[in-house]
Amino acid sequence: MPPPSSSPTHICLLVKHISSASTMAEPVHPAPTMPFASSSSAPGPAQQSTAENPRQTQTLPIRDSKDANATNSDKAPHKGKDTTASAVGGDGAGDKALSPAELKKKAKAEKTARRAKEKLEREGPAPAVGGAPAAGAGGSQARPSATSKKDGAPGGSQKGQRAPPPRRGSVAAAQHGAAEQQKKRKEDKSVAVFGHLYGQQRRTTIAGAGKEVHPAVLALGLQMRDYVVCGSSARCVATLLAFKRVVESYTTPLGTSLSRHLTAHLSHQITYLSTCRPLSISQGNAIRALKLTIASIDPSTPETSAKATLCDFIDSFIREKITIADKVIADSAAQKISDGDVIVTFAGSSIVKETLLEAHRQGKRFRVSIIDSRPLFEGKNMARALANAGLDVQYSLVHAVSHAIKDATKVFLGAHAMTSNGRLYSRVGTALVAMSAKERAGGVEVPVIVCCETVKFTDRVALDSIVVNEIADADELVSPSPPQQVTDLPDPAAAAATAQSDSNKKGAHRAPSNPSADTPASSSDDSPLTKWKDTPNLQLLNIMYDVTPAEYVDMVVTEMGSLPPSAVPIVHRMSTNM
């Protein structure tokens, strides 16, 4: 049934997202242009990067470890250096022809030099400790300084001599030390079993994004990274809407056809998005469908009509696969709720929220217990929405699962994806809730119902939560220390506040041995984790998803009906073949 009431609101909301995205992009824009400028105008970068957020320096280690190797390899071909040096000198004179081997060496040396230079620029703040003028000079004459390093001590070329020797030493030492230190840090901080998931750090700015990337996509990427657009379906819809704008503003270059070039053009956008945050399964499915449609467009179709076809396709995809699917799922899942139920749910799933609101609209009387977790606290928004709608809401965190599940009658869960072996891939902690529902003390199992659009079905399989997962920035675990800090009270006031509410609050489990004595001290301090990156052997792990075994899931409610989890691969095949 076509629900004209619900679909526009949904899309409106997302359109608002996109429009706010473009407005958001504006303040972001100027920043990234600076690094661009910095590579050309030299003295800028040192100050610029010191002024920039410290995150920038956090991203260093990965590259630096590479660079450390580079400097090592820099030393290794020392023998060849004299020849290279003379070659460089000779180049200027233009008298000698170089053998291919020498050419290769030269190219290699130049490459290392270039790397060293890039590093130097990036590392602006680090050598600045050693000597600010040196760093400035290094920035301004990065190229020559690097060459000087390449040249080795004797017989430096003219360029090399222009760079004063002491600077070379200090810079190199500083670089080396910093690189070594940061390499060590970097090695420490990725949890061993999850090593394969620490591919690249999430993009922190839109600097370096290709010029092909559409502004709407640029903004969306940042929003997804910051969890402004969060949740599998929301990300999917937002991506499709952004791609719609990409398609709208697209003109086929001369000499290519739309069906060929647009796919390549889109893949720039997709690459950018995936550097902001790994793509969700639903995004992947939507993109695949879109690419299929693009490929199926007849090259002879005029551009305007092709674009209109694509926009129509995107709209109908959103409508069919998500908007209406959500409505259908909410309707059929709401039927599973009866009067007097106690529904437990985990974190914030938009579709579970819709289901509960729908059931409430139907006049059913039930209680909702929302379990939430750090660091995203997605359940808070859901609790707010449900409470505002007048539902009876109970809110607790994941430590209280076994209490919340005690009087539960049904568990509703959202999904990030359903794998082909029937397992539920969802926000980390979901498995704990499902397990608690199935392994209750009394032996009475609580039905676990998953609400999931078929667009989230995937043909991938998963056995555990380690092979396939997403690692979020571990710093998210550090920040929100006690509520005192969030409300931004000055410390004495915070201490007074704690003192006032002492009977409950004071030192509740604050310290292992003697809790109460420490309260003011610890509240004035930052979280002890703020320096975790400098603490050897300490690692923080912030994974995003976990895999719930199929036996914990009783039913998957989709827009195609309510299924057992074993039906996922069949439905997935059906829906992709259509």
Partner 1 sequence: MPSTSLALTPGLASFLKSLKTNPIDTSIENLISLLKRRQIRHSRSCATATAYLLLRVISACRTSDPVKLIERVQSVGRRLVAAQAREMVVGNIVRRVLGLIRDEAEDDRDAEFALSEAGSESQPQTPRALDDTSFPLDRDSPSMRPDGDRSSSRPPLTSMFSLLSHPEPEASLPSTPGSASPGGRGPGQGSKDVRAEVLEGINEIIDELGQVDDQIAAYALDHIHSNEIILTHTSSTTVQKFLLKAAAKRKFTVIHAESFPNNHEATHATVSGTASSEDELMSVESFQKPLIALGITVILIPDSAVFALMSRVNKVILGTHSVLANGGLIAAAGTRVIARAAKVHQTPVVVVSGVYKLSPVYPFDFDSLIEYGDASKVLSYEDGDLVDKIEVQNPLYDYVPAELVDLYITNLGGHAPSYLYRIVSDHYRMEDISF
Write out the binding residues for partner 1, residues 412-431 only, by CB under 8 A. 427-429, 431
Shortest gap between Cβ of 188 and partner 1 (angstroms)?
Answer: 8
**Near partner 1 by CB under 8 A, which window of 18-26, 300-308, 334-342, 459-467?**
459-467
Which one of 94, 503, 577, 578 is in contact with partner 1 (CB under 8 A)? 503
Which residue, 34 or 477, is less far from partner 1 as judged by CB?
A: 477
Q: Which residue has the tokens 């040192």?
A: 46
What kind and span of H or E run contains 64?
A: helix 60-75
- 538 touches partner 1 by CB under 8 A: yes
Which one of 103, 508, 570, 574 is in contact with partner 1 (CB under 8 A)? 508
Q: Show the beta-strand stretches assigned E in 336-383.
A: 342-346, 367-372
**Near partner 1 by CB under 8 A, which window of 33-41, 172-180, 287-295, 377-385?**
377-385
- 441 touches partner 1 by CB under 8 A: yes
- 491 touches partner 1 by CB under 8 A: no
Which residue, 211 or 509, is less far from partner 1 as judged by CB?
A: 509
Shortest gap between Cβ of 5 and partner 1 (angstroms)?
Answer: 25
Residues 172-191, one symbol each (x = binds partner 1 by CB under 8 A, - = not), give: -------------------x
- 509 touches partner 1 by CB under 8 A: yes
Which one of 527, 555, 560, 576 is in contact with partner 1 (CB under 8 A)? 527
N residues, the chain = 578
Which residue, 27 or 390, is less far from partner 1 as judged by CB?
A: 390
Backbone angles phi, psi at 282, to 5 degrees: -65, -40
**What distance in Å separates the CA atoms of residue 301 and residue 297, rounded to the nearest whole number?**
7
Please, what's the largest Cα pairwise distance for the chain? 93
Which one of 394, 409, 421, 576 is in contact with partner 1 (CB under 8 A)? 394
Closest CA to 483 of 516, 508, 515, 451: 508
Q: Which residue has the tokens 């209406």?
A: 324
Which one of 507, 550, 560, 576 is in contact with partner 1 (CB under 8 A)? 507
- 493 touches partner 1 by CB under 8 A: no
User: What are the start-end ranges of the H helices in 277-349?
Assistant: 281-295, 303-317, 324-334
- 293 touches partner 1 by CB under 8 A: no
Find the Cα–Cα–Cα–Cα dihedral 34, 38, 44, 48, rounded to 10°: 50
**What distance in Å separates the CA atoms of residue 14 and residue 129, rounded to the nearest whole number?**
47
Which one of 205, 375, 421, 461 is in contact with partner 1 (CB under 8 A)? 375
Which residue, 308 or 467, is less far from partner 1 as judged by CB?
A: 467
- 543 touches partner 1 by CB under 8 A: yes
Which one of 24, 46, 344, 432 is in contact with partner 1 (CB under 8 A)? 432
Which one of 295, 517, 570, 574 is in contact with partner 1 (CB under 8 A)? 517
What does the block give as tokens for 296? 């199926």
- 496 touches partner 1 by CB under 8 A: no
**What distance in Å separates the CA atoms of residue 236 and residue 240, rounded to the nearest whole number?**
6
- 384 touches partner 1 by CB under 8 A: yes
Which residues, including other chains, have CB under 8 Å from residue 520's CB and lie 6 or more apart? Answer: 495, 498
Could you tell me the CA-to-CA distances from 71 to 111, 114, 117, 178, 329 in Å, in that order?
A: 11, 11, 11, 12, 58
Could you tell me the CA-to-CA distances from 566 to 352, 423, 457, 552 in Å, in that order?
A: 21, 9, 12, 12
- 541 touches partner 1 by CB under 8 A: yes
Task: Please state whether the peptide bond connecting residue 61 to the residue before it is cis, i.e. omega within 30 degrees of 0.
Answer: no
Which one of 401, 494, 553, 556 is in contact with partner 1 (CB under 8 A)? 401
Binding residues among 324-353 for partner 1 as defined by CB under 8 A? none
Closest CA to 546 of 463, 477, 473, 448: 463
